[in-house]
Structure 1
């Protein structure tokens, strides 16, 4: 079934607790997989404005991830260092491999990235650079103390 991209569910900004949300506030994810009714894997069209990150650097315990740069230029940051990705470049991140990764748009124009990955509600993600872990119940500190949920203080 053809997807009307203009009507697809869209996520703006970041759900990270402060201050970890700041570098990701100017991002937009168009949820193409959700618009098609997919439940076993997700597909997103990620729009990164200049200066914006795709996420905090992370890795997933149960979810594989794949990205393809549609337009623009981003910097892929991993444990091995940094690498520029341009339109036509792609990368993959297998679940369970503890290699934190994310994309940064350091250019002066928008970058658009196609993201695909497992959609596992029991997934957990580790954030090696900061005091953050994602669980099925929300974000927590590395000692297990939960962060307040969005809207709570």
Structure 2
């Protein structure tokens, strides 16, 4: 007798574009940014992926993705499908459009996506889903620490540097 494995049915492994309307879009905003509001689908959840997060996202005119941030352990990417946006990467700002790809290996440089234009920005966003993640919000002096589904945000003392040098 073999052990039962939790394998999605083959119909769950394929998400067809024509079926996107079957699943209601979800909205999400970052609690530290009142201009943040993205809508979309988690394609990875629809297909049962557990180690990757892949999302089809829409950013309305005048809205921002989340908050300028960097990752310590989870790599992330963005791929623009339609519309235009402004990508903040480090201290630079770039206009981005269809076919543009951004990849953020860890530890990542700070990044953020804004839509100051008149048309909706549609993009794929994806990355790793590790058990533990640390993300910094350098413009706010805050740090998020997430373990599993539990997360907390802490103030970062910019003036204190800890040193662990051997004596």
Q: TM-score, normalised by structure 2?
A: 0.76
Matched residue count: 139
Q: Residue 134 of structure 1 aligns with which residue?
A: 144
Could you say what the CA RMSD is over the residues aligned between the two structures, in angstroms? 1.8
Please tell me whether residue 82 in structure 1 is matched to residue 93 in structure 2: yes
Q: Residue 124 of structure 1 aligns with which residue?
A: 134
Query: Shift of the alpha carbon at 1:49?
Result: 0.1
Query: Shift of the alpha carbon at 1:55?
Result: 1.2
Query: Shift of the alpha carbon at 1:8?
Result: 4.4
Alignment of 1:22-33 (within 5 A): 22-25=34-37, 27-33=38-44
CA distance in 1, matches of 2:151, 2:87: 26
The answer to which structure, 1 or 2, has the higher relative contact order (CA under 8 A, 6+ apart) is 1
Which runs of 5 or more residues in structure 1 are unaligned?
145-153
Which runs of 5 or more residues in structure 2 are unaligned?
1-12, 158-167
Alignment of 1:11-30 (within 5 A): 11-14=26-29, 16-17=30-31, 20-25=32-37, 27-30=38-41
Please tell me whether residue 37 in structure 1 is matched to residue 52 in structure 2: no
Contact 2:40 2:55 in 1 (8 A): yes
Q: CA 1:92 to 1:143, structure 2 compared with 1: closer, same or farther past 3 Å?
A: closer
CA distance in 2, matches of 1:37, 1:45: 15
Q: Residue 68 of structure 1 aligns with which residue?
A: 79
Q: CA 1:120 to 1:7, structure 2 compared with 1: closer, same or farther past 3 Å?
A: farther
Q: CA 1:142 to 1:29, structure 2 compared with 1: closer, same or farther past 3 Å?
A: farther
Query: Shift of the alpha carbon at 1:143?
Result: 4.5
Q: Find the structure with the greater CA-based Rg.
A: 2
